[in-house]
Amino acid sequence: MRSLNFEVDFGEGCGELIQYLSVHNDLHPEVRYNIMHMVYVMLPRFEKKWADCKDAFEQLIFLFKNINTLHKMPAGCKDKALEAILKSAKISKLSAEELMDYERQKKVISDYAAALAYADEEGDRRGVLRTAKRMKANGEAMDKIMLYTGLSHHEIKAL
C-alpha cells in the first residue's frame, strides 16, 4: 500500500494541518460554488503520538499517517471503526497468493455459518411439524394448530 504521507503546496501562509478547499471560477474569483468541497489533511504535519490524540479525529489521522508501520492497534484503542480500517489496510498488503488463502478462509467460515443457520432453521421446522402432527393426532382444532404452529391449513392437512 502506498503511503498517504505527502505534502501538497497550497502556497505561502497555508501551513495548517487541514486545508479546506472549494471550487471557484478563475475568471470571477469572488464567485464560490457550493457543489464540491475538498479537505486535505497534511499527514507529515501531524506529529502527535497515539497517547496525545485527544479525540477520534486525531486518532484517525494518527492511524492514516502510521498505517504502513502499525502491526496492531495502539494500546487502549477500542474503536471498532479504526480497527476495521487497519484490518482493511493489512488485507490490501497481502500478496495474490495470500489474498486467495484469505478469501478461501472467509468462504469456509461463511459456508460453515450458513450450514449452522440452515440446520437451526431445519430443526425448528421439524419441531413445528412434529408438534402439529401430535396436535392433529390428539384431535385439536385446525384453527388452534394453525395458531400455535404458524402452519397453513394446507400444510396441516398434508401431515
Query: Which SS3 state, helix, strand or coil, does residue 58 take?
Result: helix
The answer to the question of residue 7 being in a domain is: no
Q: How many domains does the chain have?
A: 2
Full-model pTM? 0.52
Q: Residue 69's domain spans which residues? A: 18-93
Contact between 115 and 142 (Cβ < 8 Å): no
The answer to the question of residue 127 being in a domain is: yes
In degrees, rounded to 5, the angle at the alpha carbon of residue 96 between the alpha carbons of residues 94 and 98 is 55
Q: What is the pLDDT along the chain (159 residues), one digit of tens a residue?
A: 445 566 777 778 887 888 888 888 889 878 877 788 888 888 888 999 999 999 989 999 999 888 888 878 888 888 888 888 888 888 888 889 988 998 999 899 999 889 988 888 888 889 989 998 999 999 989 998 888 889 899 988 888
My answer on whether 86 and 103 are in the same domain is no
| Listed residues 93, 116, 131: the one ending a domain | 93
Q: Which are the contacts of 111, defined by CB distance < 8 A and separation ≥ 6? A: none
